[in-house]
């Protein structure tokens, strides 16, 4: 009896897990080096980002889109093109104090910044960036 109940639940959970893994996750980590500094670690399933945007009031999204609008087609094109390329280090800049890396790893764009002040890591699925850009582009400009 228990197996009859648990198998569909387990199946649905596995399918949900496969979907989330396939979509990837948005990860943001900021660690300030100073004593008492900020340590922010955020891990969000990417599948939730476009869905979450639907919950934001249209007016707020339109306002936010005004500045970004000229660059949305660029973000969309870059995301689509990068997604089909092999893993690669796109940009690396290092000096005595800072080290910045932008790389493509799997379906993710990964940005790492290391400095004496802080360490920042941002990674997000390229597909999500494209979807967000498309979603914002489809909004009519704020009147």
The reply on whether position 88 binds other proteins by CB under 8 A is: yes
- Tell me if residue 71 falls in helix, strand or coil: helix
Q: Report the nearest approach of other proteins to the CB of residue 41 (Å).
A: 26
Q: Which of 10, 40, 56, 68 binds other proteins (CB under 8 A)?
A: 10
- Tell me if residue 59 falls in helix, strand or coil: helix
- Look up residue 102 and give its two tokens: 């932008």
Segment interacting with other proteins (CB under 8 A) among 33-41, 51-59, 60-68, 94-102? 94-102
Binding mask 26-55 for other proteins (x = CB under 8 A): ------------------------------
Q: Which of 37, 52, 73, 116 binds other proteins (CB under 8 A)?
A: 73
Angle, helix 126-137 to helix 72-83, in steps of 10 degrees: 150
| Nearest of 84, 79, 85, 83 to residue 130 by alpha carbon | 79
Q: Measured between alpha carbons, how far is 128 from 46 in angstroms, rounded to an integer?
A: 6
Binding site for other proteins (CB under 8 A): 3-4, 7, 10-11, 14-15, 18, 21-22, 70, 73-74, 76-78, 80-96, 106
């Amino acid at each position: 009896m228990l197996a009859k109940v648990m198998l569909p639940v387990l199946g649905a959970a596995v399918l949900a897990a496969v979907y989330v893994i396939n979509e990837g996750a948005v990860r943001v980590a900021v660690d300030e080096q100073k004593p008492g500094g900020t340590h922010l670690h955020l891990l969000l399933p990417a599948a939730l980002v476009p869905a979450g945007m639907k919950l934001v009031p249209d007016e707020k999204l339109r306002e936010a889109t005004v500045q970004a609008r000229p660059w949305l087609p660029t973000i969309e094109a870059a995301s689509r093109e990068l997604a089909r390329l092999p893993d690669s280090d796109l940009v690396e800049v290092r000096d005595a104090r800072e080290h910045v890396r932008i790389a493509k790893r799997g379906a993710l764009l990964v940005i790492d910044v290391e400095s004496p002040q802080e360490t920042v890591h941002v990674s997000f699925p390229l597909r999500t960036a494209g979807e967000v850009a498309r979603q914002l582009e489809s909004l009519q400009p704020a009147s």
